[in-house]
Amino acid sequence: MKIFCIIPAYNEEKNIEETIKNTLDFVDFIVAINDFSSDNTLNRLNKISSDKLKVLNHPINLGQGAALQTGNEYALKNGADIIVHFDADGQFLSEDIPQIIEPLIKGQADIVFGSRFMDIKSDIPKFKKNIIMPIAKVFNRLFFGINTSDPQSGFRAMTRECANKIIIENDRMAHCTEILAKSFKYKLKIKEVPIKVLYEEFGQKFSGGINIIKDLSLKKIKG
Amino acid sequence: MIQQIIAVLLILLFFSKILAQWKKKTITNNEFAFWSIFWGLGIIIIIMIKPIDRLVLEMGFSSSGISLVFYMSVMILFYLIFKMRLRILKLEKNITDIARKITLKD
Protein backbone atom coordinates (compact mmCIF):
# COMPACT_ATOMS: atom_id res chain seq x y z
CA MET A 1 0.00 0.00 0.00
CA LYS A 2 1.57 3.28 -1.16
CA ILE A 3 1.17 6.16 1.27
CA PHE A 4 1.78 9.67 -0.04
CA CYS A 5 2.00 12.74 2.17
CA ILE A 6 1.18 16.13 0.61
CA ILE A 7 2.86 19.12 2.24
CA PRO A 8 2.06 22.58 0.82
CA ALA A 9 4.67 25.18 1.71
CA TYR A 10 4.50 28.95 1.44
CA ASN A 11 7.32 30.92 3.08
CA GLU A 12 8.16 28.10 5.45
CA GLU A 13 11.98 28.31 5.36
CA LYS A 14 12.16 27.98 9.17
CA ASN A 15 10.16 24.76 9.50
CA ILE A 16 10.09 22.94 6.19
CA GLU A 17 13.29 20.89 6.53
CA GLU A 18 12.43 19.60 9.97
CA THR A 19 8.82 18.87 9.02
CA ILE A 20 9.90 16.84 5.98
CA LYS A 21 12.64 14.97 7.84
CA ASN A 22 10.26 14.11 10.70
CA THR A 23 7.63 12.85 8.27
CA LEU A 24 9.82 10.70 5.98
CA ASP A 25 9.76 7.70 8.35
CA PHE A 26 5.98 7.52 8.45
CA VAL A 27 5.09 7.53 4.73
CA ASP A 28 6.35 6.03 1.47
CA PHE A 29 6.53 9.29 -0.42
CA ILE A 30 6.33 13.02 0.31
CA VAL A 31 5.13 15.58 -2.23
CA ALA A 32 6.14 19.08 -1.14
CA ILE A 33 4.55 21.90 -3.09
CA ASN A 34 6.39 25.19 -2.97
CA ASP A 35 3.60 27.71 -3.52
CA PHE A 36 5.81 30.44 -5.04
CA SER A 37 7.46 31.31 -1.73
CA SER A 38 9.38 34.56 -1.59
CA ASP A 39 11.82 33.25 1.04
CA ASN A 40 14.29 30.33 0.92
CA THR A 41 11.69 27.56 1.13
CA LEU A 42 12.59 26.17 -2.30
CA ASN A 43 16.34 26.12 -1.52
CA ARG A 44 15.68 24.36 1.76
CA LEU A 45 13.54 21.78 -0.02
CA ASN A 46 16.14 21.18 -2.71
CA LYS A 47 18.78 20.64 -0.01
CA ILE A 48 16.95 17.58 1.32
CA SER A 49 18.31 14.51 -0.40
CA SER A 50 15.81 11.71 -0.34
CA ASP A 51 14.37 9.41 -2.98
CA LYS A 52 11.11 9.61 -1.10
CA LEU A 53 10.72 13.36 -1.67
CA LYS A 54 9.30 15.06 -4.75
CA VAL A 55 9.34 18.86 -4.86
CA LEU A 56 6.77 20.58 -7.04
CA ASN A 57 6.94 24.28 -7.74
CA HIS A 58 3.93 26.50 -8.45
CA PRO A 59 4.89 29.23 -10.97
CA ILE A 60 2.64 31.69 -9.08
CA ASN A 61 1.15 31.78 -5.59
CA LEU A 62 -2.13 29.89 -5.73
CA GLY A 63 -2.96 29.15 -2.10
CA GLN A 64 -2.99 26.14 0.18
CA GLY A 65 -6.13 24.56 -1.28
CA ALA A 66 -4.70 24.71 -4.80
CA ALA A 67 -1.37 23.29 -3.60
CA LEU A 68 -3.16 20.33 -1.97
CA GLN A 69 -5.06 19.64 -5.19
CA THR A 70 -1.79 19.78 -7.18
CA GLY A 71 -0.31 17.30 -4.70
CA ASN A 72 -3.37 15.03 -4.92
CA GLU A 73 -3.15 14.95 -8.71
CA TYR A 74 0.55 14.12 -8.60
CA ALA A 75 -0.01 11.40 -5.99
CA LEU A 76 -2.89 9.84 -7.93
CA LYS A 77 -0.85 9.79 -11.13
CA ASN A 78 1.97 8.05 -9.30
CA GLY A 79 -0.08 5.27 -7.79
CA ALA A 80 -0.94 6.52 -4.30
CA ASP A 81 -3.33 4.30 -2.33
CA ILE A 82 -3.58 6.64 0.64
CA ILE A 83 -3.00 10.40 0.65
CA VAL A 84 -2.21 12.34 3.82
CA HIS A 85 -2.53 16.14 4.02
CA PHE A 86 -0.04 17.69 6.40
CA ASP A 87 1.00 21.27 7.24
CA ALA A 88 4.54 22.54 6.67
CA ASP A 89 4.62 24.85 9.68
CA GLY A 90 5.37 22.15 12.23
CA GLN A 91 2.08 22.40 14.11
CA PHE A 92 1.16 18.77 13.47
CA LEU A 93 3.07 15.80 14.84
CA SER A 94 4.18 13.25 12.26
CA GLU A 95 3.87 10.54 14.98
CA ASP A 96 0.10 10.97 14.57
CA ILE A 97 0.22 9.79 10.93
CA PRO A 98 -0.03 6.03 11.71
CA GLN A 99 -3.23 6.49 13.69
CA ILE A 100 -4.80 8.76 11.06
CA ILE A 101 -4.20 6.20 8.28
CA GLU A 102 -5.10 3.12 10.35
CA PRO A 103 -8.90 3.29 9.73
CA LEU A 104 -8.18 3.58 5.97
CA ILE A 105 -5.91 0.52 5.95
CA LYS A 106 -8.51 -1.46 7.91
CA GLY A 107 -11.26 -0.33 5.51
CA GLN A 108 -13.20 1.38 8.32
CA ALA A 109 -13.25 4.78 6.59
CA ASP A 110 -12.83 6.56 3.24
CA ILE A 111 -11.53 9.73 4.84
CA VAL A 112 -10.12 10.42 8.31
CA PHE A 113 -9.88 13.84 9.92
CA GLY A 114 -7.55 14.73 12.74
CA SER A 115 -9.48 16.39 15.54
CA ARG A 116 -8.08 18.78 18.11
CA PHE A 117 -11.18 18.45 20.26
CA MET A 118 -11.76 14.70 20.72
CA ASP A 119 -9.15 14.29 23.44
CA ILE A 120 -7.94 17.65 24.57
CA LYS A 121 -4.31 16.93 23.79
CA SER A 122 -3.60 20.38 22.36
CA ASP A 123 -3.22 23.61 24.22
CA ILE A 124 -5.66 25.53 21.99
CA PRO A 125 -5.73 29.32 22.49
CA LYS A 126 -8.87 30.32 24.44
CA PHE A 127 -10.18 32.78 21.83
CA LYS A 128 -9.89 30.16 19.13
CA LYS A 129 -11.39 27.40 21.26
CA ASN A 130 -14.30 29.36 22.73
CA ILE A 131 -15.15 31.89 20.01
CA ILE A 132 -13.81 31.06 16.53
CA MET A 133 -14.35 27.28 16.58
CA PRO A 134 -17.95 27.33 17.90
CA ILE A 135 -18.87 29.93 15.22
CA ALA A 136 -17.19 27.79 12.54
CA LYS A 137 -19.04 24.68 13.80
CA VAL A 138 -22.43 26.43 13.61
CA PHE A 139 -21.59 27.82 10.13
CA ASN A 140 -20.52 24.36 8.89
CA ARG A 141 -23.61 22.66 10.28
CA LEU A 142 -26.07 25.30 9.03
CA PHE A 143 -24.76 25.76 5.52
CA PHE A 144 -23.05 22.47 4.68
CA GLY A 145 -24.57 19.85 7.01
CA ILE A 146 -21.12 19.13 8.47
CA ASN A 147 -21.14 17.51 11.88
CA THR A 148 -17.60 16.97 13.14
CA SER A 149 -15.87 17.80 16.41
CA ASP A 150 -13.23 19.88 14.60
CA PRO A 151 -14.63 22.31 12.01
CA GLN A 152 -11.26 23.32 10.48
CA SER A 153 -8.97 20.33 10.52
CA GLY A 154 -6.04 20.53 8.12
CA PHE A 155 -4.61 17.13 9.05
CA ARG A 156 -6.48 14.43 7.16
CA ALA A 157 -5.97 11.23 5.20
CA MET A 158 -8.04 9.74 2.42
CA THR A 159 -8.16 6.78 0.11
CA ARG A 160 -7.34 6.98 -3.57
CA GLU A 161 -11.04 6.65 -4.49
CA CYS A 162 -11.89 9.49 -2.13
CA ALA A 163 -9.18 11.79 -3.61
CA ASN A 164 -10.60 11.07 -7.06
CA LYS A 165 -14.05 12.19 -5.89
CA ILE A 166 -13.07 15.25 -3.84
CA ILE A 167 -11.67 17.83 -6.24
CA ILE A 168 -10.55 20.84 -4.19
CA GLU A 169 -11.92 23.98 -5.88
CA ASN A 170 -11.28 26.53 -3.13
CA ASP A 171 -7.72 27.63 -3.76
CA ARG A 172 -7.21 29.36 -0.45
CA MET A 173 -8.10 28.49 3.14
CA ALA A 174 -11.76 27.59 2.56
CA HIS A 175 -10.64 24.16 1.32
CA CYS A 176 -10.92 22.73 4.86
CA THR A 177 -14.67 23.28 4.94
CA GLU A 178 -14.98 22.27 1.29
CA ILE A 179 -13.36 18.86 1.89
CA LEU A 180 -15.56 18.27 4.93
CA ALA A 181 -18.67 19.37 3.01
CA LYS A 182 -17.90 17.11 0.04
CA SER A 183 -17.21 14.16 2.34
CA PHE A 184 -20.72 14.51 3.76
CA LYS A 185 -22.27 15.29 0.36
CA TYR A 186 -20.79 12.16 -1.25
CA LYS A 187 -21.78 10.10 1.80
CA LEU A 188 -18.23 8.87 2.40
CA LYS A 189 -17.31 6.83 5.46
CA ILE A 190 -15.91 9.52 7.74
CA LYS A 191 -13.87 9.02 10.88
CA GLU A 192 -12.20 11.41 13.29
CA VAL A 193 -9.14 10.59 15.33
CA PRO A 194 -7.62 12.71 18.09
CA ILE A 195 -4.45 14.58 17.19
CA LYS A 196 -2.15 16.93 19.01
CA VAL A 197 -1.47 20.38 17.62
CA LEU A 198 1.37 22.61 18.74
CA TYR A 199 0.30 26.24 18.94
CA GLU A 200 2.60 29.19 18.64
CA GLU A 201 1.56 31.69 16.00
CA PHE A 202 0.06 29.04 13.81
CA GLY A 203 -3.25 28.74 12.09
CA GLN A 204 -6.10 31.03 11.16
CA LYS A 205 -6.63 34.49 12.54
CA PHE A 206 -10.16 35.89 12.94
CA SER A 207 -9.78 37.82 9.65
CA GLY A 208 -8.83 34.52 8.00
CA GLY A 209 -12.12 33.08 9.19
CA ILE A 210 -14.03 35.97 7.61
CA ASN A 211 -12.19 35.34 4.32
CA ILE A 212 -13.15 31.66 4.47
CA ILE A 213 -16.84 32.56 4.90
CA LYS A 214 -16.59 35.04 2.00
CA ASP A 215 -14.92 32.48 -0.32
CA LEU A 216 -17.40 29.74 0.58
CA SER A 217 -20.39 32.05 0.08
CA LEU A 218 -19.20 33.10 -3.37
CA LYS A 219 -18.57 29.50 -4.40
CA LYS A 220 -22.01 28.50 -3.09
CA ILE A 221 -23.72 31.32 -5.05
CA LYS A 222 -21.76 30.44 -8.17
CA GLY A 223 -22.72 26.77 -7.72
CA MET B 1 -30.34 74.01 -15.70
CA ILE B 2 -26.59 74.47 -14.98
CA GLN B 3 -26.54 71.06 -13.26
CA GLN B 4 -28.10 69.49 -16.34
CA ILE B 5 -25.51 71.12 -18.63
CA ILE B 6 -22.64 69.90 -16.40
CA ALA B 7 -24.09 66.39 -16.35
CA VAL B 8 -24.45 66.32 -20.14
CA LEU B 9 -20.89 67.64 -20.57
CA LEU B 10 -19.58 64.94 -18.26
CA ILE B 11 -21.40 62.26 -20.22
CA LEU B 12 -19.99 63.66 -23.48
CA LEU B 13 -16.51 63.50 -21.92
CA PHE B 14 -17.04 59.82 -20.95
CA PHE B 15 -18.44 59.12 -24.41
CA SER B 16 -15.43 60.72 -26.12
CA LYS B 17 -13.17 58.30 -24.19
CA ILE B 18 -15.25 55.36 -25.36
CA LEU B 19 -15.17 56.69 -28.93
CA ALA B 20 -11.38 56.91 -28.74
CA GLN B 21 -11.15 53.32 -27.43
CA TRP B 22 -13.40 52.16 -30.26
CA LYS B 23 -11.28 53.94 -32.87
CA LYS B 24 -8.16 52.26 -31.38
CA LYS B 25 -10.10 49.00 -31.61
CA THR B 26 -9.53 48.19 -27.95
CA ILE B 27 -13.28 47.68 -27.56
CA THR B 28 -15.52 45.71 -29.88
CA ASN B 29 -18.41 47.10 -31.96
CA ASN B 30 -20.87 45.45 -29.58
CA GLU B 31 -19.26 47.06 -26.54
CA PHE B 32 -19.26 50.42 -28.30
CA ALA B 33 -22.95 50.02 -29.16
CA PHE B 34 -23.77 49.08 -25.54
CA TRP B 35 -21.99 52.11 -24.07
CA SER B 36 -23.42 54.45 -26.74
CA ILE B 37 -26.95 53.35 -25.83
CA PHE B 38 -26.12 53.52 -22.10
CA TRP B 39 -24.81 57.10 -22.19
CA GLY B 40 -27.42 58.12 -24.79
CA LEU B 41 -30.12 57.04 -22.35
CA GLY B 42 -28.30 59.00 -19.64
CA ILE B 43 -28.50 62.19 -21.72
CA ILE B 44 -32.20 61.60 -22.48
CA ILE B 45 -32.94 61.11 -18.76
CA ILE B 46 -31.09 64.32 -17.86
CA ILE B 47 -32.83 66.38 -20.56
CA MET B 48 -36.23 64.89 -19.76
CA ILE B 49 -35.85 65.06 -15.99
CA LYS B 50 -39.00 67.15 -15.41
CA PRO B 51 -41.35 64.89 -17.42
CA ILE B 52 -39.73 61.91 -15.62
CA ASP B 53 -40.48 63.63 -12.27
CA ARG B 54 -44.13 63.89 -13.24
CA LEU B 55 -44.17 60.27 -14.43
CA VAL B 56 -42.64 59.06 -11.16
CA LEU B 57 -45.28 60.99 -9.17
CA GLU B 58 -48.06 59.55 -11.33
CA MET B 59 -46.68 56.05 -10.70
CA GLY B 60 -47.13 56.68 -6.98
CA PHE B 61 -43.49 57.06 -5.89
CA SER B 62 -42.83 59.75 -3.29
CA SER B 63 -39.30 60.53 -4.48
CA SER B 64 -38.29 62.69 -7.42
CA GLY B 65 -37.27 61.27 -10.80
CA ILE B 66 -33.59 61.90 -10.25
CA SER B 67 -33.68 60.06 -6.90
CA LEU B 68 -35.33 57.06 -8.53
CA VAL B 69 -32.70 57.06 -11.28
CA PHE B 70 -30.01 57.25 -8.57
CA TYR B 71 -31.45 54.31 -6.57
CA MET B 72 -31.74 52.21 -9.70
CA SER B 73 -28.16 53.08 -10.70
CA VAL B 74 -26.90 51.91 -7.29
CA MET B 75 -28.80 48.64 -7.70
CA ILE B 76 -27.40 48.11 -11.19
CA LEU B 77 -23.88 48.89 -9.95
CA PHE B 78 -24.19 46.31 -7.17
CA TYR B 79 -25.36 43.76 -9.70
CA LEU B 80 -22.45 44.57 -12.02
CA ILE B 81 -19.95 44.25 -9.14
CA PHE B 82 -21.44 40.85 -8.30
CA LYS B 83 -21.18 39.74 -11.94
CA MET B 84 -17.56 40.93 -12.02
CA ARG B 85 -16.76 38.94 -8.86
CA LEU B 86 -18.08 35.80 -10.53
CA ARG B 87 -16.07 36.53 -13.66
CA ILE B 88 -12.91 37.05 -11.55
CA LEU B 89 -13.56 33.70 -9.83
CA LYS B 90 -13.76 32.04 -13.24
CA LEU B 91 -10.52 33.72 -14.34
CA GLU B 92 -8.81 32.64 -11.11
CA LYS B 93 -9.91 29.07 -11.76
CA ASN B 94 -8.47 29.19 -15.28
CA ILE B 95 -5.18 30.59 -13.95
CA THR B 96 -5.04 27.83 -11.31
CA ASP B 97 -5.64 25.15 -13.95
CA ILE B 98 -2.87 26.52 -16.19
CA ALA B 99 -0.40 26.92 -13.30
CA ARG B 100 -1.15 23.36 -12.13
CA LYS B 101 -0.57 21.96 -15.60
CA ILE B 102 2.81 23.74 -15.78
CA THR B 103 3.73 22.47 -12.30
CA LEU B 104 2.86 18.85 -13.06
CA LYS B 105 4.60 18.96 -16.46
CA ASP B 106 7.96 20.05 -14.99
pLDDT tens, position by position, A183-193: 999 999 999 99
Per-residue pLDDT band for A202 (boundaries 50, 70, 90) equals very low
Q: Which of A58, A219, A222 sits opposite B103 (nearest CB)?
A: A58
The answer to whether the predicted template modeling score (pTM) of the entire model surpasses 0.95 is: no
- Which residues of B make CB contacts under 8 Å with A? 85-86, 89, 92-93, 95-96, 99-100, 102-104, 106
The alpha-carbon radius of gyration of chain A (Å, integer) is 16
The vertex-A150 CA angle with A192 and A130, nearest 5°, equals 150
In chain A, what residues touch B96 (CB-CB under 8 Å)? Answer: 62, 66, 171
Percent of chain B whose pLDDT exceeds 90: 57
Q: Scanning every residue of chain B, which has its alpha carbon at the shortest distance from the alpha carbon of A222?
A: B86
Tell me how far the alpha carbon of residue B36 is from its chain's centroid. Answer: 10
Question: Of the candidates A10, A59, A6, which has an alpha carbon nearest to the alpha carbon of residue B104?
Answer: A59
Contact at CB, B103 and A171, closer than 8 angstroms: no
State whether residue A76 sits within 8 Å of chain B by CB.
no
| Mean pLDDT score across all residues of chain A | 89
Q: Is the pLDDT of residue A38 over 90?
A: yes
Contact at CB, A70 and B89, closer than 8 angstroms: no
Question: Of the candidates A114, A62, A107, which has an alpha carbon nearest to the alpha carbon of residue A87?
Answer: A114
Q: Looking at the complex, report in whole angstroms how far the Cα of residue A57 sits from the nearest Cα belonging to chain B.
A: 6
| Predicted confidence (pLDDT) per residue in B8-60, tens digit | 999 999 999 999 999 999 999 999 999 999 999 989 988 888 888 888 888 88
Q: Which of A62, A66, A73 sits opposite B104 (nearest CB)?
A: A73
State whether residue A73 sits within 8 Å of chain B by CB.
yes
| Predicted confidence (pLDDT) per residue in B61-88, tens digit | 777 777 777 888 898 899 899 989 999 9
Q: Scanning every residue of chain A, which has its alpha carbon at the shortest distance from the alpha carbon of B86?
A: A222
| pLDDT computed for residue B84 by the predictor | 93
Contact at CB, B106 and A57, closer than 8 angstroms: yes
* Range in A56-70, A104-118, A137-151 with the lowest mean pLDDT: A137-151
| AA letter at A158 | M
Question: Of the candidates A49, A50, A54, A40, which has an alpha carbon nearest to the alpha carbon of residue A7?
Answer: A54
- H-assigned helices in B1-106: 2-23, 29-47, 49-58, 65-105
The string of DSSP letters for chain A reads --EEEEEEESS-TTTHHHHHHHHHTT-SEEEEEE-S-SSSHHHHHHH---TTEEEEE-SS---HHHHHHHHHHHHHHTT-SEEEE--SSS-B-GGGHHHHHHHHHTTS-SEEEEESSSS--S---HHIIIIIHHHHHHHHHHHH----S-TT---EEEEHHHHHH------STTHHHHHHHHHHHTT--EEEEE--B--SS-S--HHHHHHHHHHHHHHHHH-
Contact at CB, A62 and B86, closer than 8 angstroms: no
Q: Scanning every residue of chain B, which has its alpha carbon at the shortest distance from the alpha carbon of A59?
A: B99
For B26, the 3-state DSSP assignment is coil
Q: Is the pLDDT of residue A204 over 60?
A: no
Interface of A with B in 184-223 (CB under 8 A): 218-219, 221-222
Q: What whole-number distance in Å separates Cα of residue A38 and Cα of residue A217?
A: 30
Q: What whole-number distance in Å separates Cα of residue A16 and Cα of residue A201?
A: 16
